[in-house]
Structure 1
Amino acid sequence: MKPVNGLHHVTAIAGKAQRNLDFYAGVLGLRLVKKSVNQDDPGTYHLFYADAEGRPGTDLTFFPWENMAPARKGTGLAVEVQLAVPQGSLAFWEARLQGYGVRLGDSEERFGEKALPLRDPDGLEVALVETSPRPFSPWERTHVPENRQIMGLHGARLWQQVLAPSADFLTRVMGFESAGQENGWSRYAVAGGGSGQFVDIKELPSQPKGQWGTGSIHHLAWSVDDTPHEMAVRKQILAAGIPATKQIDRFWFKSVYFNEPGGVVFELATDGPGFAVDEDPARLGESLVLPPWLEPHRPQIEAVLPRLEAPSPGLPEH
């Protein structure tokens, strides 16, 4: 069995694009590494935030659908994204976020790690989790000190009405292993576990199904090395009776989409060619970038997208 490598990116749904940019780039200090559009709905931005290099596994992305209704939290959805921060940095983050009026939960310990839950301006549940050093390129143009910066995606949490089908799929088809239970959460880890290589699931049989909307996670993307690796995992998914799309060229990576048995949308995404394939690495995210097949429609696309001002790192959101 060919397992996946861990998280590649997580994509969520936002409301106002500028508010999203101000929070994730300005308040959290992530780098906007790609300003593009939803390739299936080109009248909507697709904003990609990551470390300075935009490496796979550090990337949190958003579709800002301003007119969409708020999400309804429930089963069959990913309900939280966890971001990795350095050991000893949560006190800094708690003070910084309180200064911006961010909605914080109580600090807690999860599987031996300290976590600070919060909600973004659209209500998306995020947790900053202290973890050991990991591959990460710090971003210079932020007021967040290098030794406090978000290092990438740490994990994600799902709600399911029934745990067993999802657990069986993760372990039998995608190469995960059970990594323990705590407070009703069951953890499944891949590639040895560690930051960016796990998902937590809570079984909630009496909870209704959730509904996508602003403030919800749209899908979790799992990293694969390249096309042969992606096709091998896709073959395992199809053999398990789960429908999956053909490989779709997203230009910066190649994707396969499917719903795991509990209904959460998963993606397989190749690690390359990466975000520097069409932009100078020093200028990632500064201009609207379109894949070649949308470039002929640039005038119409730009006419409907709201104007985005660069965030002022370290200053309160607009």
Structure 2
Amino acid sequence: MDNRRKGVQVCNDMFVKTPRRLPEPLASVPFTFREALDAGVSFRRLRHRELHAPSRGIRVPDLGALACPEVTAVPEVVRPFTRITAFCAASHATVFTFWQFPGYLPGLDDSRIHITRPDTMAIPRRRGVVGHVGQFFDDEIVCVDGLLVTSRPRTWLDNARRMSVEELTVVADHLVRIPRAAFEFRTQPHCTLEELADMLDRHKGTPGIRKARLALDQARVGADSAPETRLRLALEDAGLPEPQLNLPTELFAGVVRQPDLSYPEYKVAVEYDGDGHSSAGQIVRDIAREEDFSRTGWLLVRISKRHMQNEARGAVSKVRAALSNREWSPDC
């Protein structure tokens, strides 16, 4: 660069003003124009190139938070989209992630934010948004940390159209499971089977409701994880008897085990060993567990992710062999 061009560059740099810092909390979270103006921010400051504009009337001080699809359900990211459009709440895939539902939902890598409003109003249309309309009862919209979102049962139904019956069952089992007080900050399930059934009765004719009804028929209280639900469904689809789920079983005096799935009549227990079973301490505990079952004449079948491949054929084969060893037959 010659001296003249260098001089122009230095001159330009001298006149580039550092923007005034935004007031908290706007300096670290996405916000709407109205929130900024109410906080005393000028129109000129809102037009500074430092701020990212994901959608009309919204500004983001840090592009990274909005550009990453994995965080589009973070309340701070979603909130301005629900506030700038009147009478709306976050919904569908956005809230599927927000509620941390297990299971597979197609399109979760889409960074657009889903919002919905009553069907008496126009469908939301703006950049970065997938808009929906629908009928809502009062308890189907809840406020979490200042963010309006669809309730868990309503979110389950809203996503039914795009999910398989198996994945809908996985989510239903997650919603109705009894939490373990020693490890969780709650003592009640997210909802009951009756509440899910009521949700379906409220919205007859909703797209995906037939799949949701089939999933509800398959849902059971007791599964502690998505792999446990998938394993149970695979066993039942293969014609094996329906197992008990996390049933406390007294093996001998002072020793009670709670296998993931069990067939007490045949003294067969089934455990799904996830990634957490690879640690040294867990391996020792797993050996002790297996010894306890063996000591009292139970067969313990251990299933891993490998056995769940190819439509869980390996898992089904192992459990069938154990049941057959205990004189079970398809005619029982």
Shared topology, TM-score over 0.5?
no
Normalized per residue, the structure richer in helix is 2
Larger radius of gyration: 2
Q: TM-score, normalised by structure 1?
A: 0.25
More strand by percentage? 1
Q: Which structure's relative contact order is higher, taking Cα pairs within 8 Å and 6+ residues apart?
A: 1
For normalisation by structure 2, the TM-score amounts to 0.24
